[in-house]
């Protein structure tokens, strides 16, 4: 091989080696840096846009609470986001201890909500459902339900929402226990022993409640909270089409479905509800018409 050809081969190898080194260690460097910068910008952007609501603070008597964040909720969800931070866990326990030691004090829990959120609860709006969620949490910590009232407000500031998360879902205030409760006698007169009738398709996992029924369920929960001996009797019923035994079984399944639905979507304790089915034995309309049979296929929720 001549020396000229050998030099040409060495030069070619040198060029190829230089191109490989440039691509690996030099040319790709800027691309990686740009990529890292873009990722960093994307990562930092949500943090910058999250609502800065400060600490959650409230006081009453010798109670002073300051949590590092507020109770959060997902869009259209009545259950608070978990896990709770250490501050929130500790402060909710401190609040529960304070209320148990001061039975003359009540706490009013106000839940916030946005008008376009979907309300899957049995209550009139998602704000009440969120307040009811925290009431239930305090009850599990030993606070009597009668010491907790609930309320709701439309969001005063849309910026509290970001990425389908409500960053401030609850506020609280303290009051003296009311001496005269006019709401209880009214509920007793209107609803005690008078069934709320529910109609739904068994293939669906939701019950279509009217606005009045949602208001009635809010009253039922209030009554259950303040009258320990009260309960809900839930009964299922069918028309007379088909075999009686099959209809009795179906009516029990409908009653059980409604019981689970009220427990899940209203935080009503299962121990406060009884469930049974009577098949076609207790019609409220004639079974010889389509309309009558439709009325007989029902579930009744009765305050006892």
Give the whole-angstrom CA distance, residue 302 versus residue 277. 14
Higher pLDDT, 210 or 203: 210
Q: Which residues contact 100 (CB under 8 A, 6 or more apart)?
A: 142, 143, 144
- Please write the tens of the pLDDT for every residue from 118-149: 998 999 999 999 999 999 999 999 999 999 99
Q: How confident is the model at residue 30 (pLDDT cuts 50, 70, 90)?
A: very low
Per-residue pLDDT, 18:
62
Mean residue pLDDT across the chain: 85
- Please write the tens of the pLDDT for every residue from 256-267: 999 999 999 888
What's the maximum distance between 2 C-alpha atoms anywhere in the chain? Answer: 115
Q: How confident is the model at residue 228 (pLDDT cuts 50, 70, 90)?
A: very high
Q: 183-303 adopts what CATH topology?
A: 60s Ribosomal Protein L30; Chain: A; (3.30.1330)
The least confident of 51-60, 228-237, 285-294 is 51-60
Please state the φ and ψ torsions of residue 254, each to the nearest 5 degrees.
-65, -40
pLDDT higher than 90, residue 179: no
Segment 107-123 mean pLDDT: 94
Domains of the chain, residue spans: 1-49, 56-176, 183-303
Per-residue pLDDT, 41:
32
Q: 56-176 adopts what CATH topology?
A: 60s Ribosomal Protein L30; Chain: A; (3.30.1330)
Which of 16-30, 46-60, 190-204 is the most confident on average?
190-204
Give the whole-angstrom CA distance, residue 202 versus residue 197. 15
pLDDT higher than 80, residue 198: yes
Same fold, 56-176 and 183-303: yes
Whole-model pTM: value is: 0.78
């Amino acid at each position: 091989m001549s020396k000229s050809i050998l030099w040409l081969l060495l030069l070619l190898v040198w060029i190829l080696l230089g191109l490989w080194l440039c691509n690996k260690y030099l040319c790709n460097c800027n691309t990686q840096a740009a990529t890292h910068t873009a990722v960093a910008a994307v990562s930092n952007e949500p943090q910058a846009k999250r609502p800065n609501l400060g600490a959650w603070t409230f006081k009453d008597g010798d109670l002073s609470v300051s949590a590092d964040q507020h109770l959060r909720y997902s869009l259209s969800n009545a259950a608070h986001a978990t896990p709770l931070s250490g501050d929130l866990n500790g402060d909710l326990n401190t609040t529960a201890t304070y209320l148990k030691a001061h039975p003359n004090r009540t706490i009013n829990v106000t839940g916030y909500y946005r008008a376009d959120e979907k309300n899957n609860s049995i209550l009139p709006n998602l704000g009440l459902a969120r307040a009811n969620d925290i009431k239930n949490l305090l009850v599990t910590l030993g606070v009597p339900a009668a010491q907790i009232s609930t309320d709701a407000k439309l969001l005063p500031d849309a910026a509290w929402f970001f990425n389908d998360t409500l960053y401030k879902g609850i506020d609280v205030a303290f009051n003296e226990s009311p001496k005269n409760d006019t709401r209880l006698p009214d509920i007793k007169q209107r609803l005690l022993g008078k069934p709320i009738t529910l109609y739904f398709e068994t293939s669906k996992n939701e019950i279509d409640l009217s606005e009045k029924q949602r208001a009635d369920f809010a009253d039922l929960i209030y009554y259950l909270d303040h009258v320990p001996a009260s309960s809900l009797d839930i009964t299922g019923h069918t028309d007379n089409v088909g075999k009686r035994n099959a209809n009795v079984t179906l009516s029990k399944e409908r009653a059980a479905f409604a019981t689970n639905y009220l427990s899940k979507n209203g935080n009503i304790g299962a121990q406060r509800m009884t469930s049974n089915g009577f098949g076609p034995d207790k019609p409220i309309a004639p079974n010889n018409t389509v309309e009558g049979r439709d009325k007989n296929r029902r579930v009744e929720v009765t305050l006892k």
